[in-house]
């Protein structure tokens, strides 16, 4: 089990490695001769829920949605507030 881990948001433009992995995976899905290994038992014995804190170096598009979901805080602009409610749902 991990003692500590950090999750950082990476902009799409800097996500080449994940894009290549996704393309490789989708190419493999088309291969009907792919070997699949079935595990005889589950690999974990208990399910644990953890609370994570996300620290961002600069604001992201998710911040207003998170503020609304956690604290019912909306933007001052009524039109933008309405859009935010739709996105949050």
For residue 33, what pLDDT is reported? 62
Residue 47 tokens, joined = 């399910």
- CA distance linking residue 81 with residue 67, whole number of Å: 12
Residue 19 tokens, joined = 């894009």
From first to last of its 89 residues, what are the pLDDT tens digits of the chain? Answer: 677 888 888 777 778 888 887 777 777 666 556 566 777 877 766 666 666 666 667 778 888 888 888 888 887 888 888 888 888 87
For residue 54, what pLDDT is reported? 64
What residues does each domain of the chain span? 54-89
Torsion (CA) 46, 50, 56, 62 in degrees, nearest 10: 90
pTM (2 d.p.): 0.34
Nearest partner of 67 among 87, 51, 43, judged by Cα:
87
For residue 7, what pLDDT is reported? 82
């Amino acid at each position: 089990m991990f003692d500590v881990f950090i999750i950082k948001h990476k902009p799409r433009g800097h996500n080449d490695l994940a894009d290549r992995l996704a393309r490789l995976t989708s190419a493999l899905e088309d291969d009907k001769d792919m070997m699949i290994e079935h595990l005889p038992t589950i690999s974990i014995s208990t399910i644990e829920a953890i609370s994570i804190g996300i620290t961002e170096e600069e604001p992201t598009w998710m911040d207003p949605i998170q503020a609304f979901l956690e604290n019912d805080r909306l933007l001052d602009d009524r039109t933008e507030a309405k859009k935010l409610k739709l996105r949050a749902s």
